[in-house]
Amino acid sequence: MLAAALTIGLGGCALLTEFDQRSNGIDGRPTGVVASITDGDTLRLVVDGEELRVRLIGIDTPELRPTPECFADEATDALARLAPVGTLIGYEYDEDPQDRFERELMYLFAADGTFINLALVEEGYARELHYAPNFRYRDEILAAEAAAQAGGLGLWGACL
């Protein structure tokens, strides 16, 4: 049976139906629609009609709450730029799917293939932070952190 794609406008972005989310992956990964950005390393993602609280694996950004830390606003804006509300993004789990706060632990990928977790580190908005056993992209993220730190990018130039 063929199903037609239905798009619904949301702030200038197109949302895909649940059928489209399941049948069209990003580089073979399952997808969801960004519902909101919480801070630089946390967002809400709608997957199969369920809104999930998502924590990006392998990185840590400055905290917004209770008091904003240096570069927290910039990190939040960077995640919003890389994963705008209403857009379809791919995701990938590692060994542990949830943290102690029951947030989904995910690596995120933009439609153009950008590895969002890595991009935040490369641009100096995040630091490397891995917890066992979620080490799939640890080497790439550590290398990106070293390069950003050496270049004084983002928080490395503004906060330290």
Q: Which element (helix H / strand E) includes 81?
A: helix 72-82
Round to whole Å and give the CA distance between 58 and 35: 22
Q: Which element (helix H / strand E) includes 63?
A: none
Catalytic (active site) residue 63: yes
Which one is catalytic: 55, 122, 128, 145?
A: 55
Which one is catalytic: 18, 29, 63, 140?
A: 63
Which one is catalytic: 74, 103, 104, 123?
A: 103
Phi-psi label, residue 89: left if phi above 0, alpha if psi -120 to 50, beta otherwise: beta
How, if at all, do strands 104-109 and 127-129 pair? Answer: unpaired
Do residues 142 and 120 make contact, with C-beta atoms less than 8 angstroms apart?
Answer: no
**Where in the sequence numbering do the catalytic residues fall?**
55, 63, 103
